[in-house]
Amino acid sequence: MSPARVLVVAPSWVGDLVMADTLFKLLKQQAPEALIDVLAPAWALPVAARMREVTNVIELPAGHGEVALGARHRLARELRRRGYSHAYILPRSAKAALVPWLARIPRRIGYRGEWRYGLINRMHRLNPAHERLVERYAALAFPAGRPLPGVLPRPALGSDPAVRAKLLRRLGVDPDAAPIVLCPGAEYGPAKRWPVEYYAKLAAELRIAGHAVWIVGSARERPLGEAITAVASGVANLAGETTLDEAVDVLAAAAAVVCNDSGLMHVAAALDRPIVALYGSSSPRYTPPAADRVRILYRGVECSPCFERECPLGHFKCLRGISPAEVRSALAELGVP
């Protein structure tokens, strides 16, 4: 008998996809021979491909927010031939559940949300005790209402040392540098970004202390890197110089990572890097980095967490209240003087 084949409709945010690896690990624990295919937007596929539990990655033929019914129907016809027994739909929208339904996958598991009755036929309701997103994903691996295991498996991403060294040489940085990597961006919006001038001051102090400092981010975040390098000489601005797949390898080379609550924070955690995580409009109770060597800095001011993209009050107190000196102290606690 062939192993069960599972389709997972992944979330669009990179950090959420990383946290979904806990679900994949639980599914493999229950059925080691199961094949897990992940359906995700094109930009997220390289992250899913780094997960040991994932058999195949499949591109979702629709942009963020697009219904693209024709494209989903064509994909569903193709997937129908693969014989999936289960589908796990992690986004809570109706359109996310369309492909498994159109593909006639018998068991379609997900949370109640946005008129999904019928599209989802094994419905879960959110358990208020599951504060962390990773717990909510993990709960889908079990019958609704069953308690979670006491310890959940942590997300993990792979990075090949030889591939990593070749990439770093191409980028013009020392493969043996053991840098402090700064991730000043956050795709969600400015309310999750520690002030760039604070990053610049931190970078300058780290360079004076003798550390190699690299900046990682997307092309849209390159101006943030330029603002930092204008103040801190000798910093390598790699923002926009790498694909997301390559950024995984750059982060794997880090002695420590300083980052906002972002997808790259969760990537760094899944690579088991020491992390100083800076939280503003979001909450570390909901999406903490799943790693041992972590220091979370969070002010929790009276308006936090607001979960807004822009500060609705315009003062950014939640992030401006975290000083570069506090970040240096947190790095020292992680063994970075």
pLDDT of 1: 42
The residue whose two tokens read 């903490």 is 288
| Residues 42 and 68 sit within 8 Å (Cβ to Cβ) | no
| Residues 91 and 133 sit within 8 Å (Cβ to Cβ) | no
- Cα(37)–Cα(48) distance, integer angstroms: 9
Residues pairing with 7 in the sheet: 37, 87
| Residues 254 and 242 sit within 8 Å (Cβ to Cβ) | no
DSSP 146-158: PPPPSSPPPP---
HSE (CB half, 13 Å, CA atoms) of 119? Answer: 21
Percent of the chain with pLDDT over 90: 83
- The C-alpha R_g of the chain, in whole angstroms, comes to 21
DSSP 169-196: HHHTS-TT--PEEEE---TT-GGG---H
The residue whose two tokens read 């992680």 is 334
The CATH-assigned architecture of domain 162-333 is 3-Layer(aba) Sandwich (3.40)
Q: Is the pTM of this model over 0.85?
A: yes
The residue whose two tokens read 């591109």 is 59
- State both tokens at 48: 């899913």
* Most confident residue range from 33-37, 109-113, 185-189: 33-37
The CATH-assigned architecture of domain 5-139 is 3-Layer(aba) Sandwich (3.40)
- Cα(26)–Cα(53) distance, integer angstroms: 10
- State both tokens at 106: 């018998």
Pairing of strands 180-183, 256-260: parallel
DSSP assignment, residue 120? Answer: B
pLDDT of 102: 96
Q: What is the pLDDT of residues 180-236, one digit of tens each?
A: 999 999 888 888 999 999 999 999 999 999 999 999 999 999 999 999 999 999 999
Is the per-residue pLDDT at 45 higher than 90? yes
- State both tokens at 82: 């693969």
Burial annotation 29-61 (CB, 10 A radius, 16+ → b, else e): eeeeebbbbbbbbebbbbbbbbbebbeebbebb
Q: What are the sequence ranges of the domains in the chain?
A: 5-139, 162-333
DSSP assignment, residue 220? Answer: G
Q: What is the pLDDT of residues 283-311, one digit of tens each?
A: 999 999 999 999 999 998 888 898 898 88
